Amino acid sequence: MKFPLLIIFLCFALSVFGQKAKGVVFEDSNQNGLRESTEPGLAKVAVSNGVQVVLTDEQGFYELPIHDDQIIFVIKPSGFHPPVNEALLPQFYYLHKPNGSPILSYPGVPPTGPLPRSIDFPLIKAAESDTFKVLYFGDPQTYNQEQVDYFTRDIVAGLMGVNGYAFGVTMGDIVGDDLDLFNPINDAISQIGIPWYNVYGNHDMNTDATYDSLADETFEAVYGPATYSFNYGKVHFVVMDDVIYPRDDGKPGYIGGFREDQLAFLENDLKYVDKNMLVVVQFHIPLFLEAYFGETFRKRDRDRFFALLKDFPFTLSISAHTHTQNHFDYDHTDGWQGEKSHHHYNVGTASGDWWTGVKDDEGIPLATMRDGTPNGYMMMTFQGNEYRYEYQAAREPADFKIRLHAPKSVRRNSRNAWELYANFFQGSDSSKLNYRIDGGAWKPMWHMKEHDPSVTDTRSMWDNAPYPPEGTRPSNPVNSAHLWKIRLPTRLSPGVHRIEVQAIDRFGRKYFAQTTYRVVRDE
C-alpha cells in the first residue's frame, strides 16, 4: 500500500511544485496589451514569483517555478511603465490560483484555471527624469462610506489633476476592516490622475484567515502582490507586507515582521539592484520594537532586514500605522550594519486621529493626531539617489509647517512659567528650532517629548463641554517627537509683542511661523 501512495504523492508534488511559468516581457509600442510581431522583447528585466527573481534573456524570455497559489510579476525597469486599469492601479502581475482563494468573509481571487502557456508582461516606454515627486498617503482607514467622503473632500479634492507627480502610494490601512470599501476608495484616489501603488495594512486583511499567507486574499484580488518592487529613475522601490496575522507564537492579533518567503524575495531582488541606487522600502507597521503592550515588530526580522540592506549606502524606509509622525535614524547600536545610519520615516496619516474631533464648517472632522500633527499627506522629491520630503496638512496653506501655542497675555515681571510651544510637524531629532521676540536675536528652543498643549486643550474642551460636541471624541494625547518650547520673557514693556519661530530641518531648509502675546502691567 505504501508504494501506490508514494506514486500519488510524487505525481501531486510534480503537478504543484514542478510547474514552470514562462513568458516574455516586451515593449508594448501600440499599448494594446498584446504582443505584436514587431514589438521586441526586453532584455535584463527582472521577473519574480514572490521568492525567486530572474532576468529576462536577450529576447525578453523568462522562466520561473510556480505553485498553485503564487503571483508572477514583472519588476518595472526605469524608463518603462506597466499599463494601468480604470482606477489607475498598475497591472504588472499575473495571479495564479487555479482553484481560487479559500472561502472567506470577503471575496478573494476567483479560480484562474490552468497555467497559461505564456504569461507575457507589456511595458510602455516612457521618459523618466531622475528628479521626480511621489505622493504618500498614510492610513486613509475609512470604516464606512461617510468616511470615504471625508477622505475625498479633505485629501483628494485638493490634489485632483495635480501636475508633477510620477505616482502615489497608500501606506496601508487603505480601509478600516470593511474590504468592500477598496473599490470606492480606489475610485476616489483615481481622481488625482496618477498611477497609484498600495501597501497592505492590518486593517486591509481577511481576519478570518487561518494562515498569514491567506490573510491578504482580498487585497491580492484588488491590488495584486502584497510584496513586490519596481524602479523609477535612480530609485529602487520595494513594497513589503509586514503584517503577521495570525501570529505564529500563540498570541492573539497581529505583529509586525516578515515571513521567510518575503525576506527571500528581498534578498533575491537586491541582487540585481545597482549599489548606487537609492533603495526605498515601504511597509505599514514601523520598525520600532517596544510599546506599552510589548514588542510591536519582531526584532529577529528587523535584524535580518537590516543585514540585507547593509551593502547599500543609500537607503530609506517608510511606514505609517501609528497615527503620529516620527523619524528614526538607526545606527550600529540598533543593529543597523551599514556605514551610514538608516533613516526610517513613520509618516502621518490621511485620517489623522481616525477621523475624530469636532467637525468644521464643511462637516469634516479636524482629526488632529495625538501628537499634534494635523491629518494630511507626505510629498517626497527624489533627485538621483537623494530625497527631500514635505508634510502637507489637509486643506492648509503649503507653508503651514509649524503650529504655535502661546498664552494670549502674561503679567509683566511674572515669575510664573509662561511657555511657548512649537510643533514642527515634520521635524525630528536632527531639526533645530529658534525663536526671537520683536525682531531681536535668534535664540534656541528646547526639544521636548511632551503632550502638545493644543491637543490637551482640545480634549479639555471636549471633556468640559456641557453637551458632547458633534463628532467623535478624540484620542488621548501622546508625547510628540517634534515639539519644542521656551519660557516666554515677561520683563518687557506693556503691550503686544511679536514672536517668530524658525525651524531648520535635517536638510538645512528653513520654515517660519509667528504669533503675538500681550504683556500686561503689574498691579
CB-based contact 368:324 (threshold 8 Å): no
pLDDT of residue 415: 80
Q: Are residues 274 and 345 in the same domain?
A: yes
pLDDT of residue 289: 74
423: Cα within 13 Å, side-chain hemisphere: 28
Among 386, 368, 291, 361, smallest CA distance to 324 is for 368
Q: Are residues 359 and 411 in the same domain?
A: no
pLDDT of residue 471: 84
- Residue 2 forms part of a structural domain: no
**Cβ-proximal residues to 393 (8 Å cutoff; 6+ apart), any chain:** 374, 375, 376, 400, 425
User: Worst-scoring range by mean pLDDT, 77-86, 290-299, 389-398?
Assistant: 290-299
pLDDT above 90 for 294: no
- Residue 11 forms part of a structural domain: no
Q: What is the pLDDT of residues 327-380, one digit of tens each?
A: 999 999 999 999 999 999 999 999 999 999 999 999 999 999 999 999 999 999
pLDDT of residue 38: 92
- Residue 8 forms part of a structural domain: no
Q: Are residues 85 and 183 in the same domain?
A: no
pLDDT above 60 for 13: no
Q: Are residues 376 and 456 in the same domain?
A: no
Q: Are residues 382 and 406 in the same domain?
A: no
Question: Quick one: what percent of the chain has pLDDT higher than 90?
Answer: 89
CB-based contact 258:217 (threshold 8 Å): no
- Residue 279 forms part of a structural domain: yes
pTM of structure: 0.94
Q: Could you please report the per-residue DSSP string of 227-282?
A: SEEEEETTEEEEE---EE-S-SSS-SS-EE---HHHHHHHHHHHTTS-TTSEEEEE
Segment 293-314 shows an average pLDDT of 93
- Residue 127 forms part of a structural domain: no
Task: Give me the domain span that covers residue 483.
Answer: 402-520
Planar angle of CA 86, 89, 94, nearest 5 degrees: 105
Residue 293: pLDDT band (50, 70, 90) is low
Q: What is the pLDDT of residues 168-183, one digit of tens each?
A: 999 999 999 999 999 9
- Residue 3 forms part of a structural domain: no
- Domain CATH code at residue 455: 2.60.40.10
pLDDT above 60 for 17: no
Q: Are residues 411 and 384 in the same domain?
A: no
Rounded-to-integer distance, Cα 450 and Cα 480, Å: 6
Q: Are residues 377 and 274 in the same domain?
A: yes
- Residue 13 forms part of a structural domain: no
Segment 65-88 shows an average pLDDT of 97
Structural domain total, the chain = 3
CB-based contact 481:371 (threshold 8 Å): yes
> Among 122, 147, 176, where does a domain finish?
122
- Residue 14 forms part of a structural domain: no
CB-based contact 484:421 (threshold 8 Å): yes
Q: What is the pLDDT of residues 306-336, one digit of tens each?
A: 999 999 999 999 999 999 999 999 999 999 9
Q: Are residues 280 and 346 in the same domain?
A: yes
Q: Are residues 323 and 419 in the same domain?
A: no
Q: Are residues 266 and 380 in the same domain?
A: yes
pLDDT of residue 292: 59
Q: Are residues 156 and 288 in the same domain?
A: yes
Q: Are residues 234 and 302 in the same domain?
A: yes
- Domain CATH code at residue 92: 2.60.40
- Domain CATH code at residue 371: 3.60.21.10
Residue 523: pLDDT band (50, 70, 90) is low
CB-based contact 483:452 (threshold 8 Å): yes
Q: What is the pLDDT of residues 160-217, one digit of tens each?
A: 989 999 999 999 999 999 999 999 999 999 999 999 999 999 999 999 999 999 999 9
pLDDT of residue 7: 38
> Among 393, 421, 436, where does a domain finish?
393
> Among 376, 393, 410, where does a domain finish?
393
What's the mean per-residue pLDDT of the chain?
A: 94
